[in-house]
Chains A and B, each alone.
Chain A
Amino acid sequence: MQALTRTMSTLTPKMPEPAKPAVFPLVIGTLKKWLLALQEYSILLADTAMKALSPPIYGGDILEQMDLIGVGSLPIILLTGFFIGGVMVLNTAAQFQRFGSASVTGTVVAIGLVRELGPVIAGLLVTGRNGSAIASELGSMVVTEQVDAMRALGTDPVRKLVVPRVLAMLIVLPLLTAVADLVGLFGGFMVSYFQLAQTASQFWNTAIQALVLSDIFQGMIKPLVFALIISTIGCFYGLRTRGGTQGVGRSTISAVVVASISVIMLDFFLGKLLLYYFVTS
């Protein structure tokens, strides 16, 4: 009987183990990769903060980056800001006219620009122009061993490459945002003057009176946060570039995509937080 049972057991085909879904390890793997990247990014952020507050600081490199980011981005900020302001007036005025209150157009444009659109537009433009440039420049330096050469020469790449870019961005982006706000308002004024036949005093009075100090404050805190995000994400993806020129391309795309999404998401959360703070205080 025992022999029969043994024979049976050898003859009975084993049921194959149920195949594990392939999606699960993929999700876990991707999550792990994200978490690791987040950890590395946090380390870079902390390292940058520590080195930005202690000597040596490369003043010349900061000025060079301010020129590259600030002066270099000025033409696109001027152009885009002007047309964004104009198109805002075009769209809002049409709605307000239906209710006979076209005179408040300036109010809406001023608040919308200073609180939201100015910082976001400046942030996104600088991401596209300089976030990408930072990632590709540092990425090229990594793949051609220039970053290793810098370390071999006894210079800390975070101090020499990351800190100047972050500090320059922190100084310049709020200024670019202020310029975007101003030319945006001017663009809005031009449309309301020539198309809606509003007088200059009508537009500027309503626009300026609508703004309170907290709006300016909100409009200036956002670019500071965006500057930190854009520059550190650009540096982070640039410095972790692997795999030659293709790798540089991949890093640049990742930097622009992640920084753009972060700017838009943070705009929402910061907007909510700052509104809550200023309404309750």
Chain B
Amino acid sequence: MRKFTAPAANEIIPGEPLIHFENVSIAFEGVPVLNNISFTVDGGQTKVIIGESGSGKTVLLKLAAGLLRPDSGRVIIMGHNLGEMNEVELLDFRRRIGFVFQEGALFDSLDVADNVSFRLREERKPPRECEARVREALRFVEMEPAYHKFPAELSGGMRRRVSIARALIDQPPIVYYDSPTAGLDPVTSQTIITLILRLRDLSGATSLLATHRLQDAFGLANFIFEPDADRVLPVWEDADGRHFAPTSVLVIREGKIYFEGETQELLKSEDAYLRQFLE
């Protein structure tokens, strides 16, 4: 069996393609869900996938995690073609990535600590190490007081934050977020996006983020977390040039790529369909 080797987040060379979709198509019971999708995400970049409900965003993320196999085309992550891997190799691959599910998908029979430390316990890490790393991850998402709580005792936003902590416990080089702000109020949504932004700028993790809210894309594209100042700042331009947030947008419509580019281009677009998202 080939052992999957993945670089740590801080070993990723910015600008090198880490996620690559090549003419990917998938259908369920004869109904096409994704049709000939091709795109690339470079190391350290965040690609925001925008689309209506049922446009295939979740399917795209599941393909990128090897949870689904495409009918045709290739999904290449960190240089590995997922289509050529068997289930055991895929399990090994998935241990090196983070996935935040739509509703959090926390194990409801386990408390927050056990949920976050699930992967560490599977790897038979010593309990003391597990506890220290769980507390660190929970501190990052500001959920340490919920250490012993069960998912049923948490609000929707809290569950997403714990889910983010679970995904980042091993500091994966790639993180997928499936509609992390769906069904949340604007304030909580902003908190979640700020968390994702901090994670992006602190660890340099490459991300795919599926959402139907354009605000999420703008939040990620227009703000940067400055570790020195420990603050989230708007992107700015000075003598060194414009300080970009490493974020781009991909709009999916009826299983096909409708738009790919920067948020600024999207903002200027006169296309009626894209304007719907803006308005």
Contact = CB atoms under 8 A, between A and B. Distances in A.
Contact of B91 (A145, A146, A149, A156): A156
A145 B94 contact: no
Nearest to A153: B119
Contacts of B105: 144-146, 148-149
A153 B103 contact: no
A149 B101 contact: yes
B80 interface: no
A80 B47 CA distance: 61
Contacts, number: 49
A154 B87 CA distance: 10
Given A145-B103, A148-B101, A153 B62 contact: no
A149 B107 contact: yes
A152 interface: yes
A154 B103 CA distance: 19
Interface string B75-91: 00000000000010001
A145 B101 contact: yes
Given A145-B102, A146-B105, A146-B107, A153 B122 contact: yes
B265 interface: no
A77 B91 CA distance: 40
Contacts of A154: 91-92, 94-95, 119, 122
Contacts of B108: 144, 146
B207 to A, nearest CB: 15
Contacts of B166: 153
B65 interface: yes
Contacts of B119: 153-154
Nearest to B122: A155
A151 B91 contact: yes
Interface in A97-148: 141, 144-146, 148
Which 10 A-B residue pairings sit nearest by Cβ, starting from the closest?
A: A154-B95, A149-B105, A152-B99, A145-B105, A154-B94, A145-B101, A154-B91, A153-B119, A146-B105, A152-B94
A148 B67 contact: yes
5 contacts: A145-B102, A148-B67, A153-B118, A154-B119, A154-B122
Contacts of A149: 99, 101, 105-107
A150 B108 CA distance: 12
A62 B92 CA distance: 24
A141 B106 CA distance: 10
A148 B106 CA distance: 11
B67 A151 contact: yes
A153 B92 CA distance: 9
B65 A152 contact: yes
Interface in B92-140: 92, 94-95, 97, 99, 101-103, 105-108, 118-119, 122
A144 B109 CA distance: 13
A144 B97 CA distance: 20
Contacts of B122: 153-155
Interface in A244-263: none
Nearest to B99: A152
